[in-house]
Structure 1
């Protein structure tokens, strides 16, 4: 990841940052991750746009560095999740569950 891109994509996982309405953490992959991770993401959501193919999406791409004492097998993880459909675009729980499950699985190695 280039340093310039990283500057724009770095997100805090602190409760203060998560409290911001457009932090792109709550409702996305980083919501349940520990606040001490170095975390970068770009998330998106949209409802009806007037075009069935480009409406009702929720997606996130995240890159985070795992603490060495947590997971010796991996140093950094990048994950991208795209979804499409009205129900899933309005569901603010599935991306945080995926992020938390991935983090928990990686902690087993």
Structure 2
């Protein structure tokens, strides 16, 4: 692969920036869903429906964050997805909260 083929055309950079701006509110909503699930886990009020929604949101985040170059975000979202696939307990809440914080930091750094 030549260095020339690694260069991203400005039009592609602009297009990705527009897509990021368009999808950022939905990405943030999905992160909020994970954050709410972590809080509900902590106090023992996580419902099956809330867990299922958060699980689906984690799955969608895994794909969308990678699309925007946030590979670590994809890894974190997958961890959250796996955590939410099983019976989530209060013991899992701290780990999920940590995942959420790191994802938020990655999103903020993406600008």
TM-score by length of 1: 0.30
TM-score by length of 2: 0.30
Q: Which has the higher strand share?
A: 1
